[in-house]
C-alpha cells in the first residue's frame, strides 16, 4: 500500500484520505498550502513519517504555483508557507525535520528555476529515504518475532503512517514474507479508532491474522500470557529515550513491564529529536474535545456540557522500553 505520491503529470501531491478509511478509499490532490495544512491538521495525512514526506512533497507542489517573479519574493512566499505548514501539528518530529530540510534546499540556487529543482530533489530524497528507513526497520525487527508469535500494537504504525511498509508493522510484514505465522492484537485506539479503522484494515488486507480489542483489554491479555511482545511506533523520541506516541501507549508500557512482556518501539532516525533532552521537552498536541464526546466525528455519546481533556499523545519513559528498532539495528538505548 502506498499512502502518498507525487503526480508528475499534474504536479500535485496525491494522498489517501485516512479519515475515510476503511469504508471508502478516497484520494485527495494537494497543491495549495491551505489544503495541505488542513490535510495534516485534520488527519487525512497522519503518522509521523507520512506527515514528514507529505509536507515535503506538498511544499514542493505549492512552490510550483508561486507567482513571484524574483527569487527574493519566491523565498519569502516559501518561508511563509513552511511556517504555516509547520504550525499544523506540534508533536510529530518528522514534520519539522522535513520542513527544515526543505527550507535549507530553498537556499540552493540563485534563480527561481534552480530553487524549484533543488526543492524537487530534496522532496523526492525525503520520500525515498522514508521507504528505505521503514524497509530496514522491518528487516531488523523481524528477527525479534518467532514463528507463531502474538504481537500487540497500538494506533497505526503501518504503511498508512509512512509512504510504504510503516514502522511498527514493518517487522510483522517482513515476518510474514519469511513464512512465519504471526498473530496480531490491535488496540482500537480511542478516540479516533486508528487501530480499528486503519491497522485492522491494513493487516487484514495483507492476510495477517488480526484480532481487534478495546484499549482497556490489553492488560488482561498479558495477564493470561497471550501476548509475546508489544511493538509500537512513535512521533518523537527524546535524547534519553523517552518517546511520544498515540495516547494510551504509556499504559501499555506500564502493563508490559508488570507482566514481563517485551516492549519495543520502532524508531526511524527522522523521528529522533536530540534537542529534546527528555520527554518533558516534547510538546504534546491537545485536540478538540469533540473527538471524545462524539463517536468518530458523528453521533453524540456524551452531554455537550461535559468538560473534556484530549491529548493526542502521551510520553513513555525510556526506562520502560526493552529495545528501539531502528534502521541500523535494535538497541537498548537511543
List the catalytic residue out of 130, 215, 235, 242: 235
Mean pLDDT across 130-155: 98
Q: CA-CA distances (angstroms) from residue 13 to 10, 93, 218?
A: 9, 21, 38
Residue 304 pLDDT grade (very low, low, confident, very high; cuts 50, 70, 90): confident
Q: Which helix (H) or strand (E) holds 58?
A: helix 48-63
For residues 202 and 172, is the Cβ–Cβ distance under 8 A?
no
Ramachandran assignment for 297, one of left (phi > 0), alpha (psi -120 to 50 degrees), beta (any other): left
Spatial separation of the C-alpha atoms in residues 183 and 176, rounded to whole Å = 10
Closest CA to 229 of 262, 255, 251: 262
Structure confidence at residue 329 (pLDDT): 98
Spatial separation of the C-alpha atoms in residues 40 and 35, rounded to whole Å = 9
**Mean of per-residue pLDDT scores for the chain:** 97
Residues of the chain with CATH 3.40.50.10470: 139-331
pLDDT per residue over 97-108, tens digit each? Answer: 999 999 999 999
Structure confidence at residue 297 (pLDDT): 67
Which residue in this structure is represented by grid cell 492484537? 185
Residue 300 has pLDDT above 90, yes or no: no
Structure confidence at residue 296 (pLDDT): 64
pTM for the model stands at 0.96
Q: Which residue has the higher pLDDT, 162 or 298?
A: 162
Question: 68 an active-site residue?
Answer: no
Spatial separation of the C-alpha atoms in residues 187 and 184, rounded to whole Å = 10
Residues of the chain with CATH 1.20.120.420: 4-135
The CATH number given to 4-135 is: 1.20.120.420
Residue 39 has pLDDT above 90, yes or no: yes
Residue 23 has pLDDT above 90, yes or no: yes
For residues 84 and 33, is the Cβ–Cβ distance under 8 A?
yes
pLDDT per residue over 145-195, tens digit each? Answer: 999 999 999 999 999 999 999 999 999 999 999 999 999 999 999 999 999
Percent of the chain past pLDDT 70, that is, above it, reads 99
* Strands 329-331 and 323-326, bridge-based pairing: antiparallel
pLDDT per residue over 225-234, tens digit each? Answer: 999 999 999 9
What CATH architecture is 139-331?
A: 3-Layer(aba) Sandwich (3.40)
Q: CA-CA distances (angstroms) from residue 4 to 46, 50, 65, 80, 131?
A: 11, 8, 20, 24, 11
Amino acid at each position: 500500500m502506498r499512502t502518498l505520491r507525487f503526480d508528475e503529470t499534474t504536479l500535485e501531491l496525491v494522498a489517501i484520505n485516512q479519515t475515510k478509511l476503511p469504508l471508502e478509499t478516497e484520494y485527495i490532490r494537494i497543491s495549495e498550502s491551505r489544503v495541505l495544512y488542513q490535510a495534516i491538521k485534520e488527519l487525512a495525512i497522519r503518522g509521523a513519517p507520512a506527515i514528514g514526506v507529505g509536507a515535503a512533497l506538498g511544499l514542493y507542489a505549492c512552490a510550483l504555483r508561486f507567482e513571484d517573479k524574483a527569487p527574493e519574493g519566491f523565498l519569502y512566499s516559501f518561508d511563509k508557507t513552511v511556517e504555516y505548514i509547520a504550525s499544523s501539528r506540534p508533536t510529530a518530529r518528522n514534520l519539522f525535520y522535513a520542513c527544515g530540510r526543505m527550507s535549507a534546499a530553498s537556499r540552493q540556487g540563485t534563480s527561481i528555476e534552480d530553487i524549484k529543482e533543488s526543492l524537487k530533489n530534496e522532496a523526492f530524497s525525503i520520500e525515498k529515504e522514508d521507504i528505505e528507513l521503514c524497509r530496514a526497520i522491518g528487516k531488523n525487527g523481524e528477527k525479534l518475532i518467532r514463528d507463531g508469535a502474538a504481537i500487540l500494537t497500538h494506533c497505526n504504525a503501518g504503511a498508512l503512517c509512512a509512504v510504504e511498509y510503516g514502522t511498527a508493522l514493518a517487522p510483522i510484514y517482513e515476518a510474514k514474507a519469511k513464512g512465519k505465522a504471526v498473530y496480531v492484537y490491535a488496540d482500537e485506539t480511542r478516540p479516533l479508532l486508528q487501530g480499528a479503522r486503519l491497522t485492522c484494515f491494513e493487516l487484514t488486507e495483507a492476510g495477517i491474522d488480526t484480532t481487534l480489542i478495546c484499549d482497556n483489554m490489553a492488560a488482561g491479555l498479558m495477564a493470561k500470557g497471550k501476548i509475546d511482545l508489544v511493538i509500537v511506533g512513535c512521533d518523537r523520541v527524546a535524547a534519553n529515550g523517552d518517546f511520544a506516541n498515540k495516547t494510551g501507549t504509556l499504559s501499555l508500557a506500564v502493563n508490559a513491564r508488570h507482566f514481563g512482556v517485551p516492549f519495543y518501539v520502532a524508531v526511524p532516525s527522522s523521528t529522533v529529536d536530540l534537542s529534546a533532552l527528555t520527554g518533558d521537552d516534547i510538546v504534546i498536541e491537545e485536540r478538540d474535545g469533540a473527538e471524545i464526546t462524539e463517536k468518530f466525528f458523528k453521533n453524540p455519546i456524551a452531554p455537550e456540557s461535559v468538560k473534556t481533556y484530549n491529548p493526542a499523545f502521551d510520553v513513555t519513559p525510556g526506562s520502560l522500553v526493552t529495545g528501539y528498532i531502528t534502521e541500523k539495528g535494535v538497541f537498548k538505548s537511543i
